[in-house]
Amino acid sequence: MSTVTDQFRRVFGEDPEGVWEAPGRVNLIGEHTDYNNGLVLPIALPQRTYAAARRRVDGTLRLSSTSGGEVEIALHDIAPGVPDGWGRYAAGVLWALREAGHLVGGLDIAIDSTVPIGSGLSSSAALEGAVAAAASDLFGLGLLADDSTRTTLAALCQKAENVIAQAPTGGMDQAASLRCTEGHAILLDCRNGHVSQIPFELRSHGLVLLVIDTKAQHANSDGQYGRRRAACERAAAELGVTSLRDVPYSHLAQALHKLEHDHELFARVQHVVSEIQRVRDTVEALEAGELAEVGLLFTSSHLSLRDDFDVSCDELDVAVDSAIGAGALGARMTGGGFGGSAIALVPERLAYDVERAVTNAYQRRGFTKPAFFRATPAGGARRTE
Ligand code: GLA
């Protein structure tokens, strides 16, 4: 990426030692299951964050981003909530590497990104992944070597996000950014970190995966995420299990029976346990080439997230309803919810009709104009220059 190299030269006055990139993601299915030790099925996107970097000898981190301005901090000053703003995702990665005992020094880093920010496509995990990849190579840590070292790196990126950025997220986004391979979704088992590469190819079925960026971002969604997570933990405790993953789908009715006194926990458990089963069913349908079934599973997932997990919003619901009305085989919100993006599985010949239907519905409702792109499964973080 020569633009980020040019930016590095302009800001820091010399050449970077290299350029690294890491992708954003869309999750096909398995939402709000990662922090319940469940299953998720994300793909990495061709949209990436680029980090041009050079080592420094004085233990300082300097960051410059085309969209976010500049940040400078001594490595030993990085702490929960410090620095504030976007810089904490990058700084947090260096902190987590050092905490794990890796010899990581100061860096100058220029950042550029094609991952839309605030669209639920994991721009923060892409930033963490690009910085982690750069630090791993520049300090000779070898953490990009294979899937097992990438698993370690993904866990450190998640720690950066949980501790320094103070967002109580699960590990799906970082795993997708570091462990995905081109042409595949990863089936990630969040209980043990195991990944299976699942071929994800739509063209031969005459289909596309349309991403609908609703452009909606709802205030207070961070607090809502934490509340959902806490409710799941409370429900697991009431049911006497370590996590909701330990409630088999075949025992869902009995588990719900025990939660009849608490509507909130009842609904959350209903979603999580059925969603984990939908991930299994989706993989089976993909492997059998039954794409109509995949579409139906997407839509069931959305209804469950809307009605039981309560993390959708009008913009996401209108996107899903109008996509299906215009011929999508199925559609759902993707990511944390409360805004962000939806995905729709659409016959290629109807893709523009779906875009038009969603755009018109948004116009009628007075929503901000949505944006669209067709997602294809790309590879994980790597060195590019
Ligand atoms: C956000 C979090 C992920 C995951 C999703 C919901 O993207 O970062 O860890 O919990 O929400 O599936």
| Residue 385 binned pLDDT confidence (cut-offs 50, 70, 90) | confident
Cβ–ligand 1 contact at 31 (below 6 Å) = yes
Is there an atom of ligand 1 within 6 Å of 172 CB? yes
pLDDT in tens, 13-68: 999 999 999 999 999 999 999 999 999 999 999 999 999 999 999 999 999 998 87
pLDDT of residue 27: 98
Locate the ligand 1 atom nearest the alpha carbon of residue 27 and give its number.
12
Q: Which atom of ligand 1 is nearest to 40's Cα?
A: 12
- The answer on pLDDT for 219 being more than 90 is no
Distance of alpha carbon 193 from alpha carbon 187, whole angstroms:
10
The C-alpha atoms of residue 7 and residue 50 are separated, in whole angstroms, by 11
> Of all atoms in ligand 1, which is nearest to the CA of residue 158?
9
Distance CA 27, CA 121 (A): 9
Write out pLDDT tens, residues 272-308. Answer: 999 999 999 999 999 999 999 999 999 999 999 999 9
Measured in Å, residue 158 CA sits from the centre of ligand 1 at 11
- Asked if residue 332 has its Cβ within 6 Å of ligand 1, the reply is no
CA 312 to ligand 1 center in whole angstroms: 13
Burial of 253 (0-12, 13-18, 19+ CB in 10 A): exposed
Q: Which residues pair with 106 in a beta bridge?
A: 56
pLDDT in tens, 121-174: 999 999 999 999 999 999 999 999 999 999 999 999 999 999 999 999 999 999
Closest atom, ligand 1, to C-alpha of 161:
8
> How far is residue 172's CA from residue 234's CA, in Å, rounded to a whole number?
21
Candidate from 37, 172, 302 with most ligand 1 atoms within 8 A of CB, to mutate: 172
> Which domains, ranges and CATH numbers included, belong to the chain?
2-198 (3.30.230.10), 203-375 (3.30.70.890)
What's the CA-to-centroid distance between 30 and ligand 1, angstroms?
10
Which of helix, strand or coil describes residue 47?
strand
Q: pTM of the prediction?
A: 0.97
**pLDDT tens for residues 3-14?**
999 999 999 999
Taking CA atoms only, the protein residue closest to ligand 1 atom 1 is 336
Tell me how far apart the alpha carbons of residues 359 and 354 are, in angstroms, rounded to a whole number.
Answer: 8
Cβ 275 under 6 angstroms from ligand 1: no
Give me the pLDDT at residue 234, please: 98
Q: Is the minimum distance from the CB of 128 to ligand 1 under 6 angstroms?
A: no
The pair of structure tokens assigned to 176 is 């997708």
Pocket probe for ligand 1: among 173, 190, 268, 310, the residue whose CB has the most ligand atoms within 8 Å is 173
Considering only CA atoms, which residue is closest to atom 8 of ligand 1? 169
Mean pLDDT (whole number) for 205-214 = 98
Confidence (pLDDT) at 364: 98
Full DSSP string of 272-292: HHHHHHHHHHHHHHHHTT-HH
Distance separating alpha carbons of residues 140 and 55, to the nearest angstrom: 12
| Residue 1: band (very low, low, confident or very high) from pLDDT cuts 50, 70, 90 | very low
pLDDT at position 99 over 70: yes
- Helix or strand holding residue 48 (H, E): strand 42-56
Cβ of residue 32 lying under 6 Å from some atom of ligand 1: yes
The one catalytic residue among 34, 137, 173, 213:
173
* pLDDT at position 221: 65
| Contact (Cβ atoms closer than 8 angstroms) between residue 182 and residue 379 | yes
Distance CA 207, CA 134 (A): 36
Asked if residue 243 has pLDDT above 90, the reply is: yes
| Whether residue 173 lies in the annotated active site | yes
194 band by pLDDT with thresholds 50, 70 and 90: very high
Q: Which residue's CA is the nearest one to ligand 1's atom 2?
A: 169
Q: Name the DSSP letter for residue 378.
A: B
Distance 336 CA to ligand 1 centre (A): 5
Q: Span 353-377, mean pLDDT?
A: 98
For range 314-336, the mean pLDDT: 98
Average pLDDT over residues 216-225: 80
Between the CA of 9 and the centroid of ligand 1 the distance, in Å, is: 35
**Residue 67 has what pLDDT?**
84
Looking at every residue in the chain, the average pLDDT score rounds to 97
Instruction: Name beta bridge partners: 25.
Output: 44
Probe target for ligand 1 pocket from 25, 169, 221, with the most ligand atoms within 8 Å of CB: 169
Q: What is the pLDDT of residues 101-126, one digit of tens each?
A: 999 999 999 999 999 998 999 999 99
Average of pLDDT values for 203-232? 92
